[in-house]
Amino acid sequence: MAMGRQLQVMGDDRRFRVVAEYVGKKFPDVKYIADVAGGKGYLSRILSKKNYDCELIEPREKVVKGVKHRKEQFRVEMADYYDLLIGLHPDDATRELAKAASIRPVILIPCCNFWDDERRGLKDLLEAIKDFYRQNSIHYHEHKFDFKGPMNVGLVSLSDKT
């Protein structure tokens, strides 16, 4: 993506670059990354250009040219292959991604409540995921990413198996 090119996305298009920079700082030794439910694959493309082996796991067909694409819904059983899993507004994959945090490190930045059938705003959604992490002894910290909110708060976990 060239500088100045306008992305066709909802929300702050800087989020892809901001998350990629965070990965470089906090996870410098990872090699294999899954961009879970990553839409068209903008994050995957940026990470690939930073020399990560990044694969988009996304059931939709239309993705950015040149992105490795696994056209299916993410399941927790896929987590073992990757060093890091990222869910930047992962919608339907939110719960499976949270479960995968017991296997591999996960950056989970939820946007909409696909967690359960309860009506939840973002604050309540984050609390529900934190409760899940605590109940399953998943170590995490909350991180506010430097792009326009309100959907810029993530839970970053480190699995016990890493």
Q: Can you tell me the distance from the alpha carbon of 56 to that of 85, in angstroms, rounded to the nearest whole number?
A: 10
* pLDDT tens track for 81-118: 999 999 999 989 999 999 999 999 999 999 877 777 77
Q: Can you tell me the distance from the alpha carbon of 110 to that of 81, in angstroms, rounded to the nearest whole number?
A: 23
Please give the DSSP secondary-structure letter assigned to residue 81: G
Q: Can you tell me the distance from the alpha carbon of 113 to that of 94, in angstroms, rounded to the nearest whole number?
A: 9
The CATH number corresponding to 18-158 among 3.90.1150.10, 1.10.1240.10, 3.40.50.150, 3.10.129.10 equals 3.40.50.150
Q: Can you tell me the distance from the alpha carbon of 56 to that of 8, in angstroms, rounded to the nearest whole number?
A: 18
The pair of three-digit structure tokens given for residue 67, joined into one six-digit string: 């992105």
Prediction pTM value: 0.90
Of the two residues 12 and 81, the one the predictor is more confident about is 81
* pLDDT tens track for 115-130: 777 787 788 999 999 9
